[in-house]
Amino acid sequence: MPIAKKRVLIVDDEPATRLLLGQIFSGMGHDVAVAEDGFTALEAIRQAEPDLILSDLNMPGMSGFELLSVVRRRLPSIYVIASSGAYTGDSVPEGISADAFYEKATTLKALFEIVKGALGTEARKTRRIGSEVPVWLTMEEGHSADKEYFVISCTECLRTFSHVHEKVFGVVHHADCVHCKSPTPYAVVRLLAKVNEQAYQMELDTAGRSLRA
């Protein structure tokens, strides 16, 4: 039985990737919207809430790490697929607020299988929603200090407070809010190395041509 038409939001800072993925999923019969970073993605979500978000992680402005944390806290019913070439394997990396992970520049068949399962009605009903959604903080490239000061927004009282973080990346930590004493989960990410976008886009282009044939 074919999957009913769904609304898909593709978030990636590479224009060619947005174009080719948009063509592929439109060719599959879905309504597709695209965004170039987390900020434009949130605007697109306000206009029409998607059934599924496929988001890159390493983007300027608001990264995919930050975007997916916001989506999970505010709109947990949306199925989220994180994509990146900086991580390997098919497991969701620690601390990333996603239901599934796709390693860029690997076979697109794996991505299509994830999307097929995600858009099935049973997947949306039974998938587990993580209880702990970390605030993601970005450390700019070039910082060399052993410790770094961050301003964190408490997920309970929403007030901000300063926190000193020792350099451990990609792991969920906790900082007690100075106002309400609630433990706020957070993680720190450095800018990630870009995947070979040319090879990835060639694969996307090949998939798009096969759908149009």
Q: Are residues 68 and 38 in the same domain?
A: yes
Q: Are residues 148 and 178 in the same domain?
A: yes
- Residue 81 near residue 90, CB atoms below 8 Å: no
Element (H, E) at 117: helix 108-118
**CA–CA separation, 54 and 30 (whole Å):** 13
- Residue 82 near residue 58, CB atoms below 8 Å: no
Task: Reduce the DSSP state of residue 69 to 3 states and report it.
Answer: helix
User: Which range of residues forms the domain containing residue 153?
Assistant: 135-190
Q: Are residues 124 and 139 in the same domain?
A: no
**This prediction's pTM:** 0.74
In this predicted structure, what is the pLDDT of residue 162?
Answer: 84
**CA–CA separation, 102 and 104 (whole Å):** 6
Q: Are residues 32 and 108 in the same domain?
A: yes
Predicted confidence pLDDT, tens digits, the chain (213 residues):
455 688 999 999 999 889 989 998 998 889 999 999 999 999 999 999 999 999 999 888 888 988 998 898 888 889 999 998 888 888 898 778 899 999 987 878 888 889 888 876 555 544 454 446 777 766 655 454 556 777 787 777 778 888 887 666 557 788 898 888 888 888 777 655 565 666 666 667 766 666 555
Mention every residue, 6+ apart, whose C-beta is less than 8 A from residue 59: 11, 12, 13, 36, 37, 38
CATH code at position 54: 3.40.50.2300
- DSSP state, 128? P
User: In Å, how far are 109, 113, 124, 171, 207 from 135, measured between CA atoms?
Assistant: 32, 29, 24, 11, 36
Q: Are residues 104 and 157 in the same domain?
A: no
Q: Are residues 120 and 139 in the same domain?
A: no
For the chain, report the end-to-end CA distance as a whole number of angstroms. Answer: 22
Mention every residue, 6+ apart, whose C-beta is less than 8 A from residue 5: 29, 30, 31
Task: Reduce the DSSP state of residue 32 to 3 states and report it.
Answer: strand
Q: Are residues 14 and 115 in the same domain?
A: yes
In this predicted structure, what is the pLDDT of residue 188?
Answer: 77
